[in-house]
Amino acid sequence: MDDVSVNLFLVQVAVIFLPGIIWAKLDATYAAKVKPSEIEFVVRAFVFGLTVYVVEYMVFEWLHWPFPIVDLAAADSHEVLTAPIAHEVLGAVGISLIMALLWLYASTYKLLTRFLQLIKATKKYGDEDVWDFMLNSGEAAVEYAHVRDLDHGFLYAGWVDTFSETDKLRELVLLRVIVYNLDGEQLYETPRLYLARAPEKINIEFPHEAGG
């Protein structure tokens, strides 16, 4: 196989698996807690792409539309991206975006974990810790928080805006914040406050009762 054939093969395969690559990229950026290795990314892109094309095939079958099959074995010798295949790939890209958004939603709100807890199949939170599970829960009771800074003698009361978890820090942004000392005396107010603490140095209380 000469260089031209290799380039032709790689370009056509990349285009065909573009739906899976898009889904895998969105998953790696917004859902995965740890950046996947190159091999893991390729495997995910393949699996996601295969899933997309299976869904597209089912849609085509339901609509009684022809579903052309790509002959990848011939991709190194001649063009396999015909007009019907190109339309198929474009449709798969649209499906991949929809499925990736559903995947991100399910991942963010831990829908599978919550379902397993609902049927009492598990009490675990999944791969994430309680910090991630609680603040991603979407419950009104965890939207307002009291953060106690015991080392510096402050209590920050505000609405949770954004948060993140790194290997060394727990980061949290609060809105409409009132700062107290630990005796309950109000010191000042600020519209936005960023906190970054080591995992063992952050204590959060949620004063609003669930359903209250």
C-alpha to C-alpha distance for 13 and 8, rounded to whole angstroms: 9
Q: Is the pTM of this model over 0.75?
A: no
Lowest mean pLDDT among 44-48, 97-101, 133-137, 188-192: 133-137
Share of the chain above pLDDT 70, in %: 76
* In-domain check, residue 130: no
Whether 2 has a pLDDT exceeding 50, the answer reads: no
Task: Indicate the pLDDT class of residue 65, thresholds 50, 70 and 90.
Answer: confident
Statement to judge: residues 84 and 145 lie in one domain: no
In a domain, 158, yes or no: yes
pLDDT tens digits for 96-114? 999 999 999 888 777 877 7
β-pair partners for 147: 156, 204
Average pLDDT over residues 17-38: 88
Backbone angles phi, psi at 201, to 5 degrees: -110, 10
pLDDT at 133 over 70: no
Same domain, 85 and 148: no
Whether residues 98 and 191 share a domain: the answer is no
Measure the CA–CA gap between 72 and 51, rounded to whole angstroms: 18
Residue 53 domain flag = yes
Per the structure, the count of domains in the chain is 2
Per-residue pLDDT of 145-170, as tens digits, reads 899 988 888 999 999 888 876 657 78
27 occurs within a structural domain: yes
* Any domain includes 129: no
Say whether both 90 and 186 belong to one domain: no
Per-residue pLDDT, 135: 72
- 65 lies in some domain: yes
Q: What is the CATH number of the domain that holds 151?
A: 2.30.30.100
Q: State which residues form the domain around 159.
A: 139-205
Contact 164, 154 (CB under 8 A): no
Residues 97 and 151 in one domain: no
Same domain, 103 and 13: yes
- What is the model's pLDDT at position 101? 95
Specify the pLDDT at position 23.
94
Indicate if the pLDDT at residue 10 is higher than 80.
Answer: no
193 pLDDT higher than 80:
yes
Do 128 and 33 form a contact (C-beta atoms < 8 A)? yes
Instruction: Give the type of residue at 141.
Output: A
Residues 6 or more apart from 50 whose CB is under 8 A from it?
20
